[in-house]
A = this chain, B = another copy of it.
Amino acid sequence: MTDRRQFLKTCALASAGLALPAPTLAAATAAAAAPAPTALSTWSIIGPKEGFSPLVGTLASMLEFTRTLVLRSARDLTMAQLDHLSDAKANSIGALLLHLSAAESFYQANTFDNRKWGDFPPDLEKRLGDAMSLGDRGRKSIKGHELQFYVDQLNESRARTLAGLKQRDDAWLLGVDDSFVWGPTNNYCKWFHVAEHESNHNGQIKYLKQRLPGAKGDGE
């Protein structure tokens, strides 16, 4: 029996344990990295979401979690702050935000449209290649936008992701791409990477934000 078959079979067996009460923990103060409570009441529940296959919905909840943290970091930044370059090597916070939208779009092309990595439609390369590449290309072309521009781009690519995920099932999510550059890689891994990639750059966004001209507070 394959791992995947075993996985879903065990999944079914595990349902027998659900009458057990969930452990109740109490927590008085925040973790160092903990965000403040938010209006999104379900943001800190990782699990199935209505309208998605169960594992796919679980992935969607992860994408929501890390996106929530990114948007919290970017909140209230001005155009000058979004354009600021901390040194000659740095990417602006605006470029990092657009990079997240670009990465998500390239993974859509790879996993939804079965495009080989590096063999993407020219219009996608043209539209988002600078943001995907960052560095000199990003520094040259990504500037002069208000925060809402980046939020709109992020929302637009996320809407396409969620629409694509809704049409796919858990077997697709666990499906393995044997020829991916990382070695055998399943769609769950590629999309988990999209989520944790937002955290990776959110760490940089927070670092840069605390060093913007006039910023106060200790480093992250």
- Residues of chain A at the chain B interface (Cβ within 8 Å): 2-12, 14-15, 17-18, 20, 22-35, 37-38, 41, 43-48, 53-55, 57-58, 62, 65-66, 87, 89-91, 99, 103, 106-107, 110-111, 114, 116-119, 132-136, 169-172, 174-189, 192-193, 195-197, 199-204, 206-207, 210-211, 217-220
A177 touches B24 (CB 8 A): yes
Question: Given contacts A5-B15, A35-B182, is CB(A192)–CB(B62) below 8 Å?
Answer: yes
A207 to B, closest residue via Cβ: B204
A28 touches B181 (CB 8 A): yes
Q: Cβ of A18: which chain B residues have Cβ within 8 Å of it?
A: 2, 4-5, 8, 171
Q: Cβ of A44: which chain B residues have Cβ within 8 Å of it?
A: 180, 182-186, 189
Q: Cβ of A187: which chain B residues have Cβ within 8 Å of it?
A: 23
Quote the shortest CB–CB distance from A73 to chain B (angstroms): 10
Q: Cβ of A170: which chain B residues have Cβ within 8 Å of it?
A: 11, 14, 17
Q: How far is the CA of A5 from the CA of B20 in the complex (A)?
A: 11
Q: Cβ of A48: which chain B residues have Cβ within 8 Å of it?
A: 3, 6-7, 10
Report how many copies the assembly holds: 2
A174 to B, closest residue via Cβ: B47
Q: A27-B117, A44-B180 are in contact. List 12 more A-B contacts (CB 8 A).
A: A6-B54, A10-B53, A10-B54, A11-B12, A14-B171, A22-B175, A25-B111, A27-B181, A31-B181, A37-B183, A38-B182, A203-B203
Q: How far is the CA of A100 from the CA of B9 in the complex (A)?
A: 34
CB contact between A134 and one of B25, B32, B34, B178 (< 8 Å): that residue: B32
A25 touches B177 (CB 8 A): yes
CB contact between A171 and one of B20, B27, B200, B203 (< 8 Å): that residue: B20
Q: Cβ of A181: which chain B residues have Cβ within 8 Å of it?
A: 27-31, 34, 37
Q: Cβ of A6: which chain B residues have Cβ within 8 Å of it?
A: 48, 54
* A-B pairs with beta carbons under 8 Å apart, 21 shown: A2-B18, A4-B18, A5-B15, A8-B18, A11-B14, A14-B169, A18-B171, A25-B116, A25-B180, A26-B177, A30-B117, A33-B197, A37-B182, A44-B183, A62-B192, A62-B196, A89-B211, A134-B219, A202-B203, A203-B207, A204-B207
